[in-house]
């Protein structure tokens, strides 16, 4: 028995556009029915379907997280972050800003300017930590100025030169480092090709700068905290090596009691040279 075949042809489309004499758009070959089978070869349908699928994918997917968006961790040297769950408050929306740094990474500048920190119940508002005494965060110059913290604690590290000016005011302080002539004068070479992390004018729960792997140091040329203010939560630094630490116009205190130290430099920190100009006043940051 002979099969019946039907073909419907669709003509091309001609358009007249100013400046163009004539534009002809050929439409696909049309609709073909043969042997009970339906074949519809339509490029237009394919394109429209692709665009619709792309739109739905973008609309339904998460927005890409890029530095310095909060509630995310960034694995250096990447500027693309991933959402993190707050270990202390797993049911709350996370507003932490975290940089995870593997051993051997080189970073040119990490800078925070005009950043407000704090969330009720947190332990640390600012955390700087290496992994051990042999795998540390090494910084050429660390400057903290125009900033406020309820408490500040330095432990398990080396500082070649510490300069705390008379503009540093604390509700009690204890500087009891181990003075050592063998402490390294850290000098970081060229930062060419190294990543920088710059953030300013922000409100976050906390900032975490953490070394994540062993087998070497994290190398940072310059770190600056300028106008970083926490109303709750400590500043904590552990396992570090710093060439120059400069404190200017910093206020520290959580109780207004100068007889209990809120600014502490522990004996586990080795220092080559130190200028202690800290003024003690009953500072109570709330």
Break the chain into its structural domains and give their ranges: 5-60, 72-280
How far apart CA 112 and CA 67 sit, in angstroms, is: 12
Q: Which residues pair with 202 in a beta bridge?
A: 115
Place of tokens 């004018």: 201
Contact, 135 vs 238, CB < 8 A?
A: no
- CB-side neighbour CA atoms (13 Å) of 124: 20
pLDDT value at residue 226: 98
Under DSSP, is residue 96 helix (H, G, I), strand (E, B) or coil?
coil
Enclosing H/E stretch for 59: helix 43-60
Return per-residue pLDDT of the chain as tens, 286 residues. Answer: 555 554 545 455 454 545 445 545 454 554 444 444 444 444 455 445 555 555 444 444 457 999 999 999 999 999 999 998 766 677 677 789 999 999 999 999 999 999 999 998 899 999 999 999 999 999 999 999 999 999 999 999 999 999 999 999 999 999 999 999 999 999 998 888 899 999 999 999 999 999 999 999 999 999 999 999 999 999 999 999 999 999 999 999 999 999 999 999 999 999 999 999 999 999 999 8
CA distances in angstroms from 48 to 52, 53, 92, listed in the order given: 6, 9, 41
Question: Would the pTM of this model clear 0.85, i.e. be above it?
Answer: no
Fill in the DSSP letter of residue 80: B
- CB-side neighbour CA atoms (13 Å) of 20: 7
pLDDT value at residue 39: 46
Between CA 198 and CA 100, with CA 145 as vertex, the angle to 5 degrees is 40
pLDDT value at residue 31: 46
How far apart CA 164 and CA 106 sit, in angstroms, is: 27
How far apart CA 73 and CA 80 sit, in angstroms, is: 9
CA distances in angstroms from 285 to 75, 147, 148, 151, 175, listed in the order given: 33, 11, 8, 9, 21
How far apart CA 261 and CA 180 sit, in angstroms, is: 23
Write a three-state SS string for 14-58: EEEECCEEEEEECCCCEEEEECCEEEEECHHHHHHHHHHHHHHHH
Between β-strands 72-75 and 81-83, what pairing exists: parallel, antiparallel or unpaired?
A: antiparallel
């Amino acid at each position: 028995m002979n099969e019946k075949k039907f073909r419907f042809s669709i003509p091309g489309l001609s358009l007249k556009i100013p400046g163009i004499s004539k534009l002809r758009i050929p439409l696909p070959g049309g609709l073909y029915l043969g042997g009970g089978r339906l074949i519809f070869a339509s490029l237009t349908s394919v394109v429209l379907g692709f665009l619709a699928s792309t739109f739905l994918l973008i609309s339904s997917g998460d927005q890409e997280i890029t530095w310095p968006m909060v509630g995310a961790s960034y694995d250096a040297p990447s500027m693309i972050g991933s959402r993190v769950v707050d270990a202390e408050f797993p049911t709350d929306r996370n507003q932490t800003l975290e940089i995870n740094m593997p051993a051997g990474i080189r970073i040119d500048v990490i800078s925070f300017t005009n950043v407000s920190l704090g969330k009720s119940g947190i332990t640390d508002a600012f955390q700087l930590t290496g992994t051990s005494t042999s795998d540390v965060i090494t910084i050429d110059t660390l400057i903290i100025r125009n900033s406020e913290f309820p408490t500040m604690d330095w432990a398990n590290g080396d500082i070649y030169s510490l300069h705390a000016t008379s503009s540093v005011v604390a509700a009690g302080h204890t500087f009891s480092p181990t003075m050592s002539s063998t402490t390294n004068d850290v000098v970081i070479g060229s930062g060419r090709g190294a990543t920088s992390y710059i953030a300013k004018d922000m409100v976050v729960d906390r900032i975490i700068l953490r070394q994540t792997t062993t087998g070497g140091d994290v190398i940072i040329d310059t770190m600056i905290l300028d106008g970083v203010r926490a109303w709750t939560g400590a500043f904590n630094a552990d396992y570090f090596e710093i060439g120059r630490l400069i404190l200017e116009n910093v206020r520290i205190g959580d109780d207004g009691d100068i007889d209990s130290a809120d600014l502490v430099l522990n004996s586990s920190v080795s220092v080559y040279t130190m200028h202690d100009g800290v003024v003690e006043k009953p500072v109570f940051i709330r």
